[in-house]
């Protein structure tokens, strides 16, 4: 059997990037390697299993960084700038970024490629709408610029494709990228049409925020209190930036000194401090199923640490067990949120360890199986059934973290000839020699 050859290359300048692109080497470009849909630890065996003979992993993490706030208060960046870098820089200038992914060490430009959205979608909307412009290197190694104010050019099959997206317009991400404005070409297409090298994005005025935790019973026992919070908080999106869930099992993965509650679930709200009294009076003080003693304030640092460490410790646990992540990234409409909870409740009876956390206010949660090697197949079958059900509900199967390699097998039922035909047009127009992430989802074959 022929051995798969995996090349690894680190680039340190735009000149290096251009030179590599001109070599026409089929490559995948990455930076912080935080993506949960690319099996970095087992990439060689994964690519070999799908018949790839040679492939190059290109590391952009040492590309030179640049940040500035322009005269319009927008953040201009290039290179391997992380969300943590950007947050600190903006705050030093009296500004704040409007997106806050859980993994702050992830690089922003890679986040645009997958359209990761983070906690603050609840208050500020999608990352896609925060992008003012993008710079990227195309297949000819030319630097190009895309503007959010310009509509995408009239490609063949574009109108039909745009119509197919309309159903998902209120979701964070559809099962396929939006194609309305120029910048959409590079947002969510996972580097398959070019390499993003710079961006300008909107920021907001830096305002003080208060973090409120709400103690709830375990969702496995009752979701009435959870749903009360969910429905009532929707009217406060201009004052509440984030509405997140950490269930009791999520808290258990943390070291004892980092835990906040010994039992039950937590929902936390990131509230504009200037609006806190109004939010408390009109929202927190009006719950039927939650008492006042179960609502408490927590520091920003403690809140961020909790939200960041739960997925991190979950991932580390799976790595120790030698299993690939078996988790969901499903978003449904508000009317179907309870039904999604019921699906997850049925999974609690499988005898597999699990936890549930995520973007509660957006009906977008991450259920994570934490199986043994022997339980992986059972979890895989449950995921297949879930995606069939989400398709019936008209939900989005991957609302945040992209498709990558791991989730390609689940996406095909969500695609039709409308999407496949347009994907072919895009690749032919922008990457005719198929050098950018050639095993990405844009090259999936339509089912016979």
Q: Is 218 exposed, middle or buried (0-12, 13-18, 19+ CB in 10 A)?
A: middle
Domain endpoint, select from 19, 43, 59: 59
Residues 199 and 213 in one domain: no
> In this structure, what CATH number is given to the domain that contains residue 121?
3.30.465.10
Six-digit token pair at 443? 């090259």
Residues 263 and 360 in one domain: yes
406 close to 37: Cβ distance less than 8 angstroms: yes
DSSP H helices in 10-126: 14-22, 43-49, 83-92, 108-114, 121-124
Domain endpoint, select from 393, 419, 439: 393
Residues 18 and 54 in one domain: yes
Residues 198 and 319 in one domain: no
pLDDT score at 68: 98
pLDDT score at 262: 65
Residues 266 and 125 in one domain: no
Six-digit token pair at 377? 């197949």
Q: For residue 247, is it within any domain?
A: yes
Closest C-alpha to 364, from 394, 326, 328, 320? 328
Q: Is 233 exposed, middle or buried (0-12, 13-18, 19+ CB in 10 A)?
A: buried
Q: For residue 222, is it within any domain?
A: yes
Six-digit token pair at 208? 């003080």
Q: For residue 36, is it within any domain?
A: yes
> In this structure, what CATH number is given to the domain that contains residue 241?
3.40.462.40
| Three-state SS at 130 | helix
Q: For residue 403, is it within any domain?
A: no
Residues 23 and 87 in one domain: no
**pLDDT of the chain along its 448 residues, tens only?**
457 789 999 999 999 999 999 999 999 999 988 887 888 888 888 788 777 888 999 999 999 999 999 999 999 999 999 999 999 999 999 999 999 887 888 999 998 988 878 789 999 998 999 999 999 999 999 999 999 999 998 888 899 999 999 999 989 999 999 999 999 999 999 999 999 999 999 999 999 999 999 999 999 999 999 999 999 999 999 999 999 999 999 998 888 777 777 689 999 999 999 999 999 999 988 899 899 889 999 998 888 888 888 888 888 888 788 877 788 999 999 999 999 999 999 999 999 999 999 999 999 999 999 999 999 999 999 999 999 999 999 999 999 889 999 899 889 999 999 999 999 999 999 999 999 999 999 999 887 5
* Rounded Cα distance, 215 and 295, in Å: 6
Q: What is the DSSP letter of 65?
A: P
| Cα angle 331, 34, 37; round to 5 | 50
Total domain count, the chain: 3
Q: For residue 445, is it within any domain?
A: no
At which residue do the structure tokens 């997206």 appear? 165
Give the count of beta carbons closer than 10 Å to the beta carbon of residue 448: 3
Q: For residue 170, is it within any domain?
A: yes
* Rounded Cα distance, 413 and 392, in Å: 11
At which residue do the structure tokens 């989802």 appear? 441
Residues 24 and 71 in one domain: no
| Three-state SS at 447 | coil
Residues 221 and 123 in one domain: no
Q: For residue 416, is it within any domain?
A: no
Closest C-alpha to 402, from 234, 66, 238, 173? 173
Residues 72 and 165 in one domain: yes
Q: For residue 248, is it within any domain?
A: yes
pLDDT score at 1: 47
107 close to 228: Cβ distance less than 8 angstroms: no
Which domain does 15 fall in, by range?
5-59
Residues 106 and 180 in one domain: yes
Residues 214 and 198 in one domain: no
Closest C-alpha to 333, from 180, 177, 187, 169? 169
The whole-angstrom distance between residue 350's C-alpha and the CA centroid of its chain comes to: 27
β-strand partners of 242: 270
Give the count of beta carbons closer than 10 Å to the beta carbon of residue 24: 11
Residues 135 and 261 in one domain: no
Domain endpoint, select from 360, 376, 393: 393
């Amino acid at each position: 059997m022929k051995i798969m050859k995996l090349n690894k290359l680190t680039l340190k300048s735009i000149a290096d990037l251009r030179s590599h692109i001109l070599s026409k080497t089929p490559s995948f470009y990455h930076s912080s390697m935080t993506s949960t849909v690319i099996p970095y630890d087992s990439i060689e065996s994964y690519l070999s299993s799908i018949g790839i003979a040679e492939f190059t992993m290109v590391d952009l993490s040492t590309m030179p960084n640049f940040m500035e706030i322009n005269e319009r208060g927008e953040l201009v960046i290039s290179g391997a700038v992380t969300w943590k870098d950007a947050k600190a820089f903006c705050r030093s200038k009296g500004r704040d970024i409007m997106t806050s992914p859980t993994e702050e060490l992830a690089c922003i430009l890679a986040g645009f490629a997958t359209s990761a959205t983070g906690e603050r979608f609840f208050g500020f909307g999608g990352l896609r709408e925060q992008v003012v412009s993008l710079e990227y290197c195309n297949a000819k190694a030319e630097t190009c610029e895309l503007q959010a104010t310009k509509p995408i050019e009239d490609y063949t099959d574009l109108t039909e494709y745009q119509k197919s997206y309309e159903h998902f317009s209120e979701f964070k991400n559809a099962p396929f990228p939006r194609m309305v404005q120029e910048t959409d070409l590079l947002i969510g297409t996972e580097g398959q049409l070019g390499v993003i090298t710079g961006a300008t994005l909107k920021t907001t005025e830096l305002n003080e925020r208060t973090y409120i935790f709400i103690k709830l019973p375990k969702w496995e026992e009752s979701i009435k209190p959870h749903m009360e919070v969910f429905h009532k908080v929707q009217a406060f999106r201009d004052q509440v930036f984030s509405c997140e869930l950490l269930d009791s099992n999520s808290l258990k993965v943390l070291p004892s000194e980092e835990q906040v509650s010994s039992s039950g679930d937590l929902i936390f709200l990131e509230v504009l401090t200037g609006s806190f009294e109004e939010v408390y009076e009109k929202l927190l003080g009006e719950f039927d199923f939650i008492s006042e003693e179960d609502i408490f304030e927590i520091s920003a640092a403690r809140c961020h640490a909790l939200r960041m460490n739960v997925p991190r410790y979950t991932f580390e646990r799976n790595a120790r067990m030698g299993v690939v992540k078996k988790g969901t990234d499903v978003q449904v409409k508000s009317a179907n949120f309870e039904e999604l909870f019921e699906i997850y409740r049925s999974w609690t009876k499988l005898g597999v360890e699990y936890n549930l956390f995520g973007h509660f206010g957006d009906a977008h949660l991450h259920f994570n199986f934490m199986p043994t090697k022997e339980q992986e197949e059972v979890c895989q079958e449950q995921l297949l059934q879930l995606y069939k059900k989400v398709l019936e509900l008209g939900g989005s199967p991957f609302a945040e973290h992209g498709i990558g390699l791991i989730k390609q097998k689940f996406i095909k039922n969500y695609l039709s000839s409308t999407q496949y035909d347009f994907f072919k047009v895009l690749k032919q127009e922008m990457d005719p020699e198929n050098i950018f992430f050639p095993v990405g989802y844009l090259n999936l074959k339509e089912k016979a």
